[in-house]
Amino acid sequence: MSQEKTTISVIKADIGSLAGHHIVHPETLAAATKVLAEAKFKGLIIDFYVTNVGDDLQLIMTHKRGVDAPEIHELAWNAFKEAANVAKDLGLYAAGQDLLSEAFSGNVRGLGPGVAEMEFVERPSEPVVVFMADKTEPGAFNLPMYRIFADPFNTAGLVIDPKIHEGFKFEIFDVFENKAVLLSAPEESYDILALIGTPGRFIVRRVYRKPDNEIAAVVSVERLSLMAGRYVGKDDPVAVVRAQSGFPAVGEVLEPFAFPHLVAGWMRGSHHGPLMPVSQRHAKCTRFDGPPRVLALGFQVKNGKLVGPADLFDDVAFDESRRIAQQIADYMRRHGPFMPHRLGPEEMEYTTLPSVLEKLKGRFFVEKVYEVKKPKVTTSLLSGKEEGD
């Protein structure tokens, strides 16, 4: 007889911010909380927690209705709409920014909000970590997810714990082609890295335990600019990771974030910056609208109830990571409008380059071209084949 499953749904949206793009207003948090409290009272959801990281409103909900349940997505949509209405009344900046439609159509995917959901049979003790990032894109979680589930130098359990020694499978989503591939670690590790090293296109969407296909992690993959056809804000991803007893330990799950790796986002979604692990009280983005931040909340899930949270990055053990992130931020900012601080034109959410080139096209002139001797062997980046003279 199959056991009843619990679903955890983490759905986020930027519905407006106080004084620019840096923090959610308390009254918008209260508006969303009221909507979810009423839904809990009516039995639609079992439990919930409302929070924010930077200017993103985060809804963490548990229920028994499965992934992509229309009634749960409609609930989240209504909570965001109520919060956006409050934001408009207060004159907050970019009120309703992530809500790309006026009407709900059965699922919030494609309407703007980011979604990370998983369904599982609860273990006797079910620890989960919810990661929430601001001023970056979903691919920002690629490196941490690989290190958590495939790197034995990060996750000792891959070597010494029989329950995870066989490894994990990575579902990698191509946001340009809207298709996914399932690859296994460690045997296909190089193929995994060949894809996810391009985080603007290939994103780790789900991770499964290899022996039984049990869900281990899920990441939101929504790209706002691809959905809207224009820049409407960075994607600010969320992720859910199960820990302990057949999965990496909580300490192994958090360890990759001790390295503040460079991610795309920051000011106007058009710069590289360090992903800084922060506590809830520091989950606001003011310096050049950043630097990008990530918050980690730990919960125990018991009969659908959310026990917690624990503010997992609120620890002096991450102080050095934050100091390094500040140094990286200083270094990157000194580049000003130059790459690699500024993203390449193909990655920027919007750019003046086409209009500048159009304006100047009649002013470009051709210099005398000197013949340059071609090297005997070159490598085609597209084909990977060596080509001779």
pLDDT of residue 385: 55
Dist CA 364 CA 95 (whole Å): 43
3-state DSSP of 60-97: EEEECCCCCCHHHHHHHHHHHHHHHHHHHHHCCECCCC
pLDDT of residue 367: 77
21-35, 119-133, 217-231: segment of lowest average pLDDT: 217-231
pLDDT band at 379, cuts 50/70/90? very low
Percent of the chain with pLDDT over 70: 88
- Kindly report, residue by residue over 126-162, the tens digit of the pLDDT: 999 999 999 999 999 999 999 999 999 999 999 999 9
Q: Is the pLDDT of residue 29 over 70?
A: yes
pLDDT of residue 100: 64
Q: Is residue 23 a contact partner of residue 52, using CB atoms and an 8 Å limit? A: yes
Closest by Cα among 104, 64, 60 to 82 = 104
Tokens of 33: 């909380």
When pLDDT is averaged across residues 182-200 and rounded to a whole number, the result is 97
Give the residue numbers annotated as catalytic, written as ranges: 14, 231, 234
When pLDDT is averaged across residues 64-80 and rounded to a whole number, the result is 96
Buried b or exposed e, range 142-156, using 16+ CB within 10 angstroms: bbbbbbbbbbeebbe
pLDDT band at 358, cuts 50/70/90? very high
Closest by Cα among 10, 103, 89, 20 to 57 = 10
What contacts 196, CB < 8 A, 6 or more positions away? Answer: 139, 142, 143, 146, 170, 172, 202, 203, 204
What contacts 131, CB < 8 A, 6 or more positions away? Answer: 141, 238, 239, 240, 241, 294, 295, 296
Strands 386-387 and 127-134: unpaired
pLDDT of residue 106: 65
Dist CA 129 CA 254 (whole Å): 9
pLDDT of residue 3: 85
**Helix (H), strand (E) counts: the chain:** 9, 17
Q: Is the pLDDT of residue 262 over 70?
A: yes
- Kindly report, residue by residue over 205-214, the tens digit of the pLDDT: 999 999 999 9
- Kindly report, residue by residue over 90-116, the tens digit of the pLDDT: 999 888 876 766 666 666 766 678 999
pLDDT of residue 331: 98
When pLDDT is averaged across residues 215-227 and rounded to a whole number, the result is 80
Dist CA 302 CA 239 (whole Å): 20
Helices (H), 336-386: 353-360
pLDDT of residue 296: 98
When pLDDT is averaged across residues 308-336 and rounded to a whole number, the result is 98
Residue type, 339: M
Strands 378-379 and 386-387: antiparallel
Average of per-residue pLDDT values in the chain = 90
Dist CA 129 CA 97 (whole Å): 27
- Paired with 271 in beta bridges are 265, 342
Tokens of 3: 């056991």
When pLDDT is averaged across residues 276-300 and rounded to a whole number, the result is 96
When pLDDT is averaged across residues 366-378 and rounded to a whole number, the result is 64
